Structure 1
């Protein structure tokens, strides 16, 4: 056997068991809703401004060229009579073919002794329309003026004594070539760029303001949601508007309120259940320890006491089980046509003995004809048995309980009245809450666990009926149960 010391062999560098270096995930920047909304609003504003600028530029360019051409047409219309007079005076166009001076004489703005030249004649000279005018004879041959006339030239007939003796032709403006025109166009473009830049800047400012205004309540709701997820059920958001975001804030507040109430009920429910289970378990443990230590002999009386505590535990567990099934809608119901009067008779007969043991008289139900409802007979017996058991526990000794049944419209109504003590009006609606008892104590001698009426409400609602607590005319409490009548086949 080798006695050499043993060494811990580490895996070789780069081997399959070599731990890999920890790689940190690459953080990618993801733009938030604020930036996305800002970019969307700004991009939309820029596109609108660019479209409006392009449309304005195109419209202005075309309109300006159209204006120049219109000035030329008006110049031809005013010049045609002068040319007709010129033709009559010289008997033709030969003098214009060889004399540019006579042509420019005709092109000069007309004037008289009464004032300056006519503005309508000055505009063509200022806009350069005169230099694009040409004179054609009756056969369409060039006489004077602009020599490069094409087929698309605008024409105005020169008429003398009803006969066309020539044509005035204007070469239309296709683009701006004059320095003044180009300078004017550049000024308009610069003005358009300035206005467009101002619009974009204003749009950016408005986008920031709108984004901040819209996202501020959303960020508040998001922060409150995180607090709510961390267990702070008192988290609320301030609702300052009546729009969709405001309604979202109101819905969040209702959700938070519901969760807070449910959390309070859950804690109260756990505390009540633990208390109700602890009491009989403590008594059982004390009884068993006393029997084990020989302090109390194992007699029929002690066994009966133990059975009573076990029965209390069993009933509490069964009540909790029924409530849990009712909460998830899994409590089974087999709806058939049932005689409500018969169910009340059977249930009253079963409970009458326990009531009489405390000196409580039970009257009713008083009904001469059957009253048929659509119900689960076993669940109805459970409902009315729980109500009569409450009477046994809470009605004063030597008291009275009365059962009456009637038909009101499409419902059968059962009233169970007792002689007292009564229940304050502000506590009657809470009677059907789990573990609620009017006296507020947890003394088991005064009653059960406070689950009976909660089960009764679930059974009544499962039958499409209702249950409510009212003041009794005989001094105590009235429990009214309304059940829908069975529909005749």
Structure 2
């Protein structure tokens, strides 16, 4: 189970790492791209504001180069300029005549380029006062921008590490939560294998694991009940065989020792007990054939009334001796049914025999045959003490007896 725990943990961790790495890279890419866009948009807005303010104050573009931070006029041999600043606005400014008054890149001061792409009119009070041309993106980032991106990347990295640790912890918790019921179930299965029937495991959820635990509990209960029924069956068979064998052995020993003479009555008693043994053996053989799926049925068309009459004839005398009324009722115009008459007689005889054992004197047993939709229903009803409600689901269990003494 430990290996399965780690497998689940590694799967969860792998999926988490893949997701975290994907989110980290995508977030970093989007952040850098949008930040660069923001910087360029801010540079454009600052450039437009500076040159527009200058024109608004002076009414012309003359000397505009001196008003821009980091810009200078063309070289002058008499007054050498200071060193070129590291950064230059990525825009060129053209006056109303289309000539360059603020150079940038290939656009030199005084040139009148015919470029139409990337041109943007410059307005002041709805009047075009010039044109700006975007030459390039802002070259590089300043120290502040680089520091901001560094802090952002560091925060993303720390977040990824934190999420990874959380994923490991959650992976272990989820794996152990899933594995714990399986470990409990495995322990119960080993105990069941060792012969400790009736093992039960707690049902901790209503998902597939809960269904598995419920199925195991049901199987374990069925095995325990089947084992108990097998033991009861063995005891019942031994009890049923012991009585006739005891009678037969007693008679034979007495006849062998000359204590009793082999009269007709005593031989008849021995025959009856031997016949009873044969009947028990035949029942066991029938049960074995049914378990193996080899029980053959000789089906034929039979009238339900005929089955009731045969059963009534078999038990009528015994019912009268016990002062129990045995009646039969059959609906009119019942169709024939396709059954094995001998097996049906065996079933009905068992039901009537049980009814006679549990119906007091003065009681009543009724054999009925009627319709239920397209089916024909044969029933044996009595007014005996009946079967407790909680025992009804068990009456068709093999060898189950409501009253162990009968």
Q: TM-score, normalised by structure 1?
A: 0.63
Aligned match for 2:138, one of 157, 173, 186: 173
1:65 aligns with 2:36: yes
Q: Which residue of 1 aligns with 2:92?
A: 134
Distance in 1 of aligned mates of 2:165 and 2:297: 70
Work out whether 1:215 is the aligned partner of 2:148: no
Alignment partner, residue 187 of structure 1: 151
Distance 1:240 1:339, change over 3 A: same
The total of aligned residue pairs comes to 380
Q: Which moved more, 1:148-157 or 1:203-212?
A: 148-157
Name the SS of the counterpart of 1:239 in structure 2.
Answer: coil
Check whether the contact 1:291–1:297 (CA below 8 A) recurs between aligned residues.
yes
Runs of 5+ unmatched residues, structure 2: 71-85, 109-114
Q: Which shifted more, 133-142 or 250-259?
A: 133-142
1:343 equivalent to 2:307? Answer yes
Question: What are the within-5 Å matches in structure 2 for residues 138-177 of structure 1?
Answer: 144-148=102-106, 154-157=118-121, 167-173=132-138, 176-177=140-141
SS in 1 for 2:199: coil
Contact 2:229/2:398 (CA < 8 Å) preserved in 1? no
C-alpha change, 1:433 and 1:293, in structure 2 (3 Å) is farther
- d(CA) in 1 for partners of 2:378, 2:397: 22
Match of 1:77 in 2: 48
Q: Are the aligned partners of 1:131 and 1:145 in contact in 2 as well (CA < 8 Å)?
A: no
Distance 1:31 1:392, change over 3 A: closer
Question: Superposition pairs for residues 35-434 of structure 1, below 5 Å?
Answer: 35-81=6-52, 89=60, 102=63, 104-108=65-69, 130-135=88-93, 144-148=102-106, 154-157=118-121, 167-173=132-138, 176-327=140-291, 330-350=294-314, 352=316, 364-365=327-328, 371-374=334-337, 375-387=339-351, 403-405=366-368, 407=370, 409-410=372-373, 411-415=376-380, 422-423=384-385, 425-426=387-388
Change (3 A) 1:287 1:39: same
- Give the whole-Å Cα distance in 2 for the aligned partners of 1:306 and 1:394: 29
CA contact (8 A) 2:122 2:129 kept: yes
Preserved CA contact (<8 Å) 1:154 1:172: no
Q: Taking structure 1 as reference, are residues 67 and 152 closer, same or farther at Cα in structure 2, changes over 3 Å only?
A: farther
Cα distance change of structure 1 residues 393 and 310 upon mapping to structure 2, 3 Å threshold: farther
CA contact (8 A) 1:136 1:169 kept: no
SS at match of 1:67: helix
Describe the shift of the 1:401–1:106 C-alpha distance in structure 2 as closer, same or farther (beyond 3 A): closer
1: distance between equivalents of 2:332 and 2:101? Answer: 125
Deviation per CA, 1:436-477, whole angstroms, max 9, x where unpaired?
677744xxxxxxxx6xxxxxxxxxxxxxxxxxxxxxxxxxxx
Contact 1:224 1:236 in 2 (8 A): yes
8 A Cα contact 1:159 1:165, kept in partner: yes
Secondary structure (helix, strand or coil) at the match of 1:32 reads helix
Distance in 1 separating the partners of 2:116 and 2:35: 19
Using the alignment, how far apart are the partners of 1:303 and 1:132 within structure 2? 130
Structural RMSD (CA): 4.2
> Structure 2 vs 1, CA of residues 84 and 170 (structure 1 numbering), >3 Å: closer, same or farther?
farther
Alignment match, 1:32: 3
How far did 1:308 drift? 1.6
- SS of 2:202's equivalent? coil
| Alignment CA distance shift 1:402-1:56 (3 Å) | closer
| Secondary structure at 2:204 match in 1 | coil
Contact 1:365 1:403 survives alignment (8 Å):
yes
User: CA contact under 8 A between 1:340 and 1:370: conserved in structure 2?
Assistant: no
Contact 2:47 2:89 in 1 (8 A): no
Tell me the SS of whatever aligns to 1:134.
Answer: strand
**What do the CA deviations read for 1:417-453 (whole angstroms, capped 9, x no partner)?**
59xxx54654995777666677744xxxxxxxx6xxx
Gaps of 5+ in 1: 1-29, 94-101, 110-127, 442-449, 451-489
Do the aligned residues in 2 keep the contact of 1:80 with 1:157 (CA within 8 Å)? Answer: no
TM-score, normalised by the number of residues in structure 2: 0.74
State the 1:404 CA deviation. 4.8
SS at match of 2:19: helix
What is the SS of the residue equivalent to 1:332?
Answer: coil
